[in-house]
Amino acid sequence: MDFALTEDQQMIQDMARNFALKEIAPFIEQDEENHFYRREILTKLGDLGLLGWSIPEEYGGNGMGWMEAVLALYEISKVHTSWRLSVSGNCWGPAMTINQYGTEEQKQKYIPGLVAGTSVGSFAITEANTGSDVASMKTFAEDKGDHWLINGSKMWISGGHTCDIGLLYAVTDKGAGAKGISCFIIDYNNTSGVTRIPIHSKVGMWPAPTSELVFENAVVPKENLLGPLNKGFQICMWMLNNTRMGCATGSAALSAACLEGSVQYANERTQFGKPIGKYQMIQAQLAEMKLEDEAAKYLVYHAAWLKDNNLPSQQATSMAKLYGCMAAVHGANMAMKIYGSYGYSTEYPCGRWLRDAKQFETLEGTSNIHMQIISGIELGYQPNR
């Protein structure tokens, strides 16, 4: 594996960095304070081709793969990690999954808007009493002959009340567990019986919308079933192996933001007549952060390389996601120490870094789940897909 960047990859990296600094950075404090989601950012990402990763060009894809995707997302997430959800919510979630399992009609109807950023995407798995145990979900889709009738609710859905198109996982064969779940494409703007409720009581990720979805006799066309009936669990696991790359990349980028900010502060802040970076304890803390940051980044690169080469990547993806969140949380903690009292002040971003870092420990598989995946594959108890 050679991770030396090509000229094209460097161009993508620079484009994403410049976009984030121009379009996202100036509004971070305002968006955080107001818990404000700016939809136009998604459209601008689409205009630059930054949502079409690993999607065929015939459906609007950019003709590039996973490595280019993580390079771009890393730069965006380093500026403000809330915006990494727009990539997963559009490209690595619905668009890529529809491309893999959808009919030609579904691909042509839904993918172009998702990669252009003119449609906002989402995917709904989690319920109030269903987290890590996906197969225990209760939302039920009843076959009514000429349509599906859906009842139930979903909780903690990223982009749930702001999206246009979403994937919904629901039970279609009660009592069959994982073998009785199916996946549906939901056109939220044209589906009656759906109530979308914003969730504002979050610790962090404030500009990233999160929602509760309630389905009460929601009518969904028969042709909106994605993939084979009762194969939704397999589709869900395939999708998560992709969307978790967003978590892995975002957490590694947040670790880098904590390191860069801490280095800058350590060179600017003086105590006892010299910069605090001259003191060995501060140097030791920065050394720890640098080690973890580099490890997290190259685990992401490795997983992306495996995906680009069509090699089994589930274990590598879980390793990148797990270690990335560990690096982000530790990096945010260390940054707050290095900044001292100012770290606890809203004048600096340490509080935001720590709030945003903690969500990586639960989003798209808790740290415990990823430890099980990693060890289960290593022990030979499950295949590395």
Q: How far is CA 159 from the centre of its chain?
A: 11
- Predicted confidence at residue 3, as pLDDT, reads 79
156 in Cβ contact with 126 (< 8 Å): yes
Q: Are residues 212 and 298 in the same domain?
A: no
Within a domain: residue 38? yes
Do 238 and 345 fall within a single domain?
yes
Domain shared by 103 and 133, yes or no: no
Helix (H, G, I), strand (E, B) or coil at 197: strand
Shared-domain flag, residues 166 and 289: no
The model's pLDDT over 109-130, given as tens digits with 9 standing for 90+, comes to 999 999 999 999 999 999 999 9
Distance between CA 374 and CA 322 in Å, rounded? 9
Domain end (from 209, 230, 251)? 230
Does a structural domain hold residue 165?
yes
**2 within domain boundaries:** no
CATH code, 196: 2.40.110.10
Give the chain as a 3 state SS string.
CCCCCCHHHHHHHHHHHHHHHHHHHHHHHHHHHHCCCCCHHHHHHHHCCCCCCCCCHHHCCCCCCHHHHHHHHHHHHHHCHHHHHHHHHHHHHHHHHHHHHCCHHHHHHHHHHHHHCCCCEEEECCECCECCCHHHCCCEEEECCCEEEEEEEEEEEECCCCCCEEEEEEECCCCCHHHHEEEEEEEHHHCCCEEEEECCCCCCCCCCCEEEEEEEEEEEEHHHEECCCCCHHHHHHHHHHHHHHHHHHHHHHHHHHHHHHHHHHHHHCEECCEEHHHCHHHHHHHHHHHHHHHHHHHHHHHHHHHHHCCCCCHHHHHHHHHHHHHHHHHHHHHHHHHHHHHHHCCCCCHHHHHHHHHHHHCCCCCHHHHHHHHHHHHHCCCCCC
d(CA 215, CA 235): 21
Q: Which residues of the chain have pLDDT under 50?
A: none
63, 89, 119 - which closes a domain: 119
Last residue of a domain, one of 73, 91, 119: 119
Q: How many structural domains are present in the chain?
A: 3
- Please indicate, yes or no, if residue 159 is contained in any of the structural domains: yes
Q: How far is CA 368 from CA 134, 154, 360, 374, in A?
A: 15, 22, 12, 10
If asked whether residues 369 and 266 sit together in one domain, one would say yes
**Tokens representing residue 156 in the block:** 């903690």
Same domain, 238 and 220: no
- Three-class SS state of 274: strand
Is residue 384 one of the residues assigned to a domain? no
Active-site residue, selected from the candidate residues 127, 212, 292, 364: 364
Q: What is the DSSP letter of 22?
A: I
Residue 63 phi/psi, 5-degree rounding, is 75, 10
For the question of residue 32 being annotated catalytic, the response is no
Same domain, 111 and 28: yes
Instruction: Report if residue 329 sits inside a domain.
Output: yes
Within a 10 A sphere around the Cβ of 220, how many other Cβ atoms? 23
Q: Which amino acid is at 108?
A: Q
pLDDT in tens, 291-349: 999 999 999 999 999 999 999 999 999 999 999 999 999 999 999 999 999 999 999 99
268 and 318 in a single domain? The answer is yes
C-alpha R_g of the chain: 21
Q: Is residue 364 part of a domain?
A: yes
185 and 242 share one domain: no
Give the global pTM.
0.95
Domain that holds residue 96: 7-119
For residues 246 and 208, membership in a common domain is answered with no
| Residue 385 placed within a domain | no
Q: What's the CA gap between 258 and 90, in Å, rounded? A: 27
Same-domain pairing of 127 and 66: no
What's the CATH number where 61 sits?
1.10.540.10
Neighbours of 136 (CB within 10 A): 13
Q: Are 172 and 78 within one domain?
A: no
The pLDDT value recorded for residue 88 is 84
Q: Residue 126's pLDDT is what?
A: 96
Q: Identify the CATH number of the domain in which residue 257 sits.
A: 1.20.140.10
